[in-house]
Amino acid sequence: MSEQARKPRVSQEARRTEVIDAALVEFGRYGYAGTSTSMIAERAGIRQPYIYALFENKRALFLACHDVLNDRIRETFREAALPEDSPYERIRKMGLAYLGLLHDDDRVRCHLQIFAAAGSDDLKEPIRKGFNQLFEDVLEISEATRPEVARFFATGMILNAMAALDEPFEMIRYLEVPPEDEL
Distance CA 41, CA 23 (A): 8
Best CA proximity match to 46, nearest among 4, 2, 9: 9
Distance CA 140, CA 162 (A): 27
pLDDT digits over 61-73, tens only?
Answer: 999 999 999 999 9
pLDDT digits over 28-37, tens only?
Answer: 999 999 999 9
Best CA proximity match to 16, nearest among 79, 58, 64: 64
DSSP character for 74? H
Interval 146-157 mean pLDDT: 93
Report residue 163's pLDDT band, with 50, 70 and 90 as the boundaries: confident
pLDDT at 174: 65
Distance CA 132, CA 102 (A): 21
Report whether pLDDT(5) > 70. Answer: no
Interval 172-176 mean pLDDT: 65
